[in-house]
Amino acid sequence: MLVAISVLALLVLLVTQLLNNAASVMTLGNKRMDAGAQARPFFERMALDLAQIVKRNDVSYYVKTAGTPMTGNDLVGFYSAVEGYYPTTPSPISIVAYRVNSDSSSLVAYNCLERMGKGLDWNGASATNIPVVFLPLTIHGTWPSVASSSAYDDTDPTKRTYETIGPQVFRFEYYYLEKTTGSLVAYPTAWTSLSAVAIKDAAAIVVAIAVVDPKSKVLLSHSQMATLVESLPDYASGWGPGELLARWQSALDSITNMPRPAISGIRLYERSFYISDQ
């Protein structure tokens, strides 16, 4: 009887270990699926926006340049021939912007990736709604929220055109494939300021994001999330393909003062978007 009880206890122990291992594998798999579910729609939406980006010399862009370096999460704003919100006499052009919200008073959007898609009227169609503006008027001068991670495009919350597109995306970084040199750069050499930006100088835009699944995110405080953003380095010109994500992963692996299950739930993604000459 003692032998039978011992064997039974051993079997129970083995089955318990198998179940625990299976649960760990399933949890890890679910975390990966949750993170992937955040990345895919964002990349698809950005692909549509960039495929229709307005490439003109008489309009402005809000992007990284030598005169507008961006530390931590990046900002980007441009005109695109995609549908937006709230046009009264809609033109085919919208102002599109991406950012990670840093407004700590916003319980819903804070530390989440947002997209603004503001539909614009035809020029002269409305006395109150701003249409496409041409240089020397700029995007960020006309819509200051494009150059801010916490400001909004309207004081009325019901009229704001920012929407959360990546609730678990907390890090957003981009860099370029320079057309003339074929090199990966933080920004093309000719882009000394926003007034010098010519989108044709970039053959492609490479976008990198860091995503944390919902179960892991609840283990981290807002201050810890801010520390995570700071710990993932900005792209530096000359880094090779995939090097940014490698450095991000190395930075995550070296973190010892945060819950390890939360850090292990972070996934890194990168995608290149070709900028057509047409």
pLDDT tens for each residue of 83-108: 888 777 788 999 999 999 999 888 88
Query: In this structure, is residue 68 part of a structural domain?
Result: no
How does pLDDT run across 14-45, given as a tens digit for each residue?
A: 767 766 655 554 555 554 555 567 789 999 99
Q: How far apart are the first and last CA of the chain?
A: 83
Contact at 8 Å (CB) between 170 and 111? yes
52 contact partners, CB below 8 Å, separation of at least 6: 80, 81, 82
Secondary structure class of 76 (helix, strand, coil): strand
Q: Rounded to 5 degrees, what angle do the CA atoms 52, 54, 60 make?
A: 145
Average pLDDT score over the chain: 88
Split at pLDDT 50, 70, 90, the class of 50 is very high
Query: In this structure, is residue 17 part of a structural domain?
Result: no
How does pLDDT run across 153-187, given as a tens digit for each residue?
A: 988 888 889 999 999 999 999 999 999 999 999 99
Domain that holds residue 118: 76-274
Question: Is the confidence at residue 12, as pLDDT, over 80?
Answer: no
How does pLDDT run across 256-270, given as a tens digit for each residue?
A: 999 988 898 899 999
Query: In this structure, is residue 10 part of a structural domain?
Result: no
Largest CA distance in the chain: 94
Query: In this structure, is residue 266 part of a structural domain?
Result: yes
What integer pLDDT is reported at residue 159 of this predicted model? 84
What integer pLDDT is reported at residue 261 of this predicted model? 86
Short-list 148, 199, 203, CA closest to 181 = 203
What integer pLDDT is reported at residue 22 of this predicted model? 55
**Which strand ranges, in their side-by-side order, compose the sheet holding 76-80?**
76-80, 90-100, 113-121, 162-166
What integer pLDDT is reported at residue 278 of this predicted model? 55
How does pLDDT run across 187-215, given as a tens digit for each residue?
A: 999 999 999 999 999 999 999 999 998 88
Query: In this structure, is residue 16 part of a structural domain?
Result: no
Contact at 8 Å (CB) between 174 and 76? yes
pLDDT, mean of residues 45-69: 95
Supply 175's token pair. 């860099």
Number of domains in the chain: 1
Contact at 8 Å (CB) between 210 and 84? no
Say how far apart CA 100 and CA 91 lie, in whole Å: 28
Supply 242's token pair. 């995939």
pLDDT, mean of residues 102-115: 91
Short-list 213, 186, 218, 217, CA closest to 202 = 186
